[in-house]
Amino acid sequence: MANTPHASVIVARDAQGNIALLSSHFPQHGGEYLFLPGGRFENDETPLECAQRELLEEAGVTGARWEPLGSFTPTLASPARVHLFLAEELTLGPQQLTPSEADFKLTWWPMHEALAAVQRGQFLLPAGPLALFLAAQHSSTAPQGTGTGNEIEQNITQNDAVRSRPTLTPVDLT
């Protein structure tokens, strides 16, 4: 199975506004930490296909409504992109964890408590907190619609095309 450095991370929000959070023990960091479902692309997956697969495997959840929240590169030296998604209109099922994920615990948190956990340092990696902040902003500013996911791939392709042609404005420092 060919993996790429690219990944997707998902904020799964149920009808009551609760967020699916995973936790696991990280001995090298001295304890248990929170994270969102997500992982690296497999084979020729698109960002959305990766997000849908990871949410199903790690949380046992499928979403009928998907919204892209953005993407970023973890470091300037990395060729990887991390794609962030919001999944809603959820259907719950059993987790489908791999042996390396066997200790992942799924819990549901109100958004404000998940954001407070970010402030308390309960997340190790930056993608989860960023996705939570973007999802919280999205829910307070975005009109409610019924996205099917098909428009997401088009938006990502358009965004990647725009991103490949950056416009720089010179700054006069005198």
Domain ranges for the chain: 3-141
According to the model, what pLDDT value does residue 5 have?
Answer: 86
Binned average pLDDT, 10 residues per bin, the chain of 174 residues: 78 96 94 96 95 97 97 92 97 93 95 96 95 88 44 40 40 47
Look up the pTM and report it.
0.78
Closest to 137 measured CA to CA, from 61, 72, 84: 84
C-beta separation of 7 from 43 below 8 A: no
Residues 6+ apart with CB under 8 A from 148: 65, 66
Q: Is residue 136 within a helix (H) or strand (E), and if so which, with residue range? A: helix 127-141
> What is the CATH number assigned to the segment(s) 3-141?
3.90.79.10
